Amino acid sequence: MIARVALDLALRKEFDYLVPPELEAQVEVGRRVKVPFGPREILGSIVSLAESSPQTNLRPLARVLGQQSQITPAILDLARWIATYYCCPLELALKSVLPESVRQEQEGWRHRLKVRLLPARDPQPKLTKRQQDILGIVEEWRELPLQELLTLAGTTADTVRRLEDRGLVTISSEIAERDPYATDHILPTDPLPLNPEQAVALQAILAALEPAPAPASSPAPGPEPESAAPLPSKDLAPAAVSAAAPAKSTFLLHGVTGSGKTEVYLQAIAHALGQGKGAIVLVPEISLTPQTVERFKARFNHGPHRTLVAVLHSHLSSGERHDEWQKIRQGRARIAIGARSAVFAPVHPLGLIIVDEEHEHSYKQEEAPRYHARDVAIVRAQRAGAAVVLGSATPSMESYHHARRGKYHLLELKHRADNARMPIVRVIDMRTEARKAKGPPVFSHALHEAILQRLERKEQTILFLNRRGFSTSLQCTQCGFVAGCPNCSVSLTYHRHKQRLCCHICGHEETAPTVCPEPTCKNSAIRYSGLGTERLEDALRKAFPHARIARMDSDTLQRKEDYRKILSEFRVGRTDILVGTQMIAKGLHFPNVTLVGIVYADLGLHLADFRAGERTFQLLTQVSGRAGRGDIEGEVFVQAFTPFHPAIQYARRADYVGFYEQELEFREQLQYPPVTRAALLTLRGRNEDKVRFTAEHLAKTLQEALRPLRDLVLAGPAPAPLLKAESFYRHQIMLRTKSMSRLASMLTPCLADLKLPDDLRLTVDIDPVNLL
């Protein structure tokens, strides 16, 4: 038997190894193995088995790892699709589908010694008073961890061992699972009654979950279909789907904020569980709050569809991720909740995938393989015969475009659940406020008064500013010096708490100076300008000294429990005002929040990215949706220096369709997605002239190689909007076409033959979401 192995090295090759007779019973596709490679042994995954090989003098496998295959056939098939579509080696795709802790050579289980009571002996051996006390504790517990027994009895392991020697107890090593939610006490919940819109949406999803009816008569015998045959019409959508198939199995649930999308998810999952199938729930990392996890555990850890709910995300320790993944692989947990990588959870059989906040850009992987979890979810669901629900109050332009064209089935929730009213949104022109205050103020007069009213009425406020730190730049008013990052084309941000200047791109830090760093200046009147969440919190404490204020950004959330602690304090009313970045913009449900203030709404509006308007609209709508989720009507203040921009005005009216139609007109004129599909090629190097020259050569090569693509638009090469990042200069080429699968199939061999200088790196990003 021959095992074809993809090594944990990005070589774009698979290697054949002999399977020794003693390992034949353990070998199967998807198993992790250790193999000899040159003078060393490295890890890899078996991707296929064969009876013969064109190669001679094959070396044997060294070891087979684990108790079962870690990569299921369905996930292996998905990894091959990712490698082809996203122009990356299969080895990198396989690396993404398994958590780091599962890929290791040593099994990641934690073993603990347990003491268990044995049946009583007659006559019982004579025991000392100390031994009798210890035995009494074991008799009460029947079994307990050795470490816990030593603590309870105040004794040593040797004393317990003596009880084992006398045949009264047994001490054995057992797997002790690490459950990140073991100490939580979650009260069970029952399904809620649905309003008419929710009921219609749920029925459509349930219809797709029903198994297809059996054919009336058996088909004539014929050749077996290929299991990994390419999907039809793969150029039409990121998920490579046909126009007919997704209308049945792919749903876009477009519901306003607070419309009860989560309840629809929960009841659809319950139906899938009732059919004996499992479900995957994807949420953006920043929305993966304890509140989200609790809602699913409260519904499914109890009741008729009781199952373990496994959670997979980056805030877990390596050991916790290992144990949660194994719960799914062993079939003990049939629901997986997690961020981007949870799309690869080994749920089998799979009935339903939920992609909540499907418009979120955090679903896109920034390192190779640069997959988009939403699109991978659609491909996986189709290949598994499962349904997929994309949910959002502000769908991505791409998803809504597909729904409009009939590729996805559009479901709409136009009203909030329980007849709650949408918040009143007021746009404040900060140009007028700046003229009144002789400089841009942090709060407009109207927002200041609104916060004061909420404090008096014991209601809560959320203030949003999508920029952390105290000030965005340090400038000398005398010589004009601006503190910039030595590695990136950006200014350094001042963090007052640490008294440091920090780069938010590469992480560079330096001590904040007290005088101008220019040797010929040394002016002491240096000025910090701009606004971040740290300065916003400081301004709040000065304006409202008696208010209880908390801040949530990546500077304040240093420990794993910080997120949960801050939100818990806010939920129970111990915090009056919550300040934060985009991590507070979505996924939070606090009925006592009646005011939301968006401090500088147009921060990201003027970036060199064609999606800047779309992102601003989505962010404003999502943040506004945190207000008025209880009985009291909510109010939102949007402070902006460009108050009449379409993104801000459509967000004020919560008019998604109006925004979509005017934005689509702009995209059609310039042939940008969703009208076309894009690929972004970025060259990086430390010598700017060499990067520019190589980019020009690459553009000419691509123009010639991709000539058969008649509709191809090649833009560039041009310097990246952020020219220098992490000490590397960057130049970009953008390719746009309506046939991305065809482009990807031509691009891979073209780039494989490309000979780049050793000190330059080329990255390929299919369907990019970040152009900076």
pLDDT in tens, 409-452: 999 998 888 777 888 889 999 888 888 877 778 888 899 999 99
pLDDT tens digit string along 104-143? Answer: 777 767 777 888 888 877 777 788 888 888 888 888 777 7
pLDDT at 219 over 60: no
Distance of CA 381 to the CA centre of its chain: 18
| pLDDT at site 679 | 93
pLDDT at 487 over 50: yes
- Residue pair 742/234 in contact (Cβ under 8 Å)? The answer is no
3-state percent breakdown (helix, strand, coil) of the chain, nearest 5: 35, 25, 45
Residue 675 has a CB neighbour count (10 Å cut-off) of 15
CA distance to 484, 600, 603, 659, 700, per residue, from 490 (Å): 6, 20, 15, 31, 31
pLDDT tens digit string along 548-576? Answer: 998 888 777 777 677 778 888 888 889 89
Position with higher pLDDT, 456 vs 258: 456
> Checking DSSP bridges between strand 577-580 and strand 526-529, what pairing results, if any?
unpaired
pLDDT at 579 over 80: yes
Position with higher pLDDT, 166 vs 77: 77
pLDDT at 238 over 60: no
- Which of these, 363, 376, 359, lies nearest to 663 by C-alpha position? 359
| pLDDT at site 494 | 86
Range of weakest confidence among 271-280, 578-587, 610-619, 681-690: 578-587
- Which of these, 388, 348, 354, 182, lies nearest to 284 by C-alpha position? 354
Overall residue count recorded for the chain in this entry? 772
| pLDDT at site 239 | 39
Task: Please write down the HEC assignment for all residues of 202-271.
Answer: HHHHHHHHCCCCCCCCCCCCCCCCCCCCCCCCCCCCCCCCCCCHHHHHEEEEEECCCCCHHHHHHHHHHH
Q: What one-character-per-residue DSSP string does 658-717 give?
A: HHHHHHHHHHHHHT-TTSSEEEEEEEEES-HHHHHHHHHHHHHHHHHHTTT-TT-EEEEE
pLDDT at 161 over 60: yes
Global pTM reads 0.85
| pLDDT at site 411 | 94
- As a whole number of angstroms, the distance between CA 758 and CA 631 comes to 63
Q: Residue 769 in 3-state DSSP?
A: coil
Distance of CA 7 to the CA centre of its chain: 26
Position with higher pLDDT, 286 vs 270: 270
357: left (phi over 0), alpha (psi -120 to 50) or beta: left
- Which of these, 366, 337, 325, 372, lies nearest to 98 by C-alpha position? 325
Percent of the chain past pLDDT 70, that is, above it, reads 92
Confidence bin at 240 (pLDDT 50/70/90): very low
pLDDT tens digit string along 371-393? Answer: 999 999 999 999 999 999 999 99
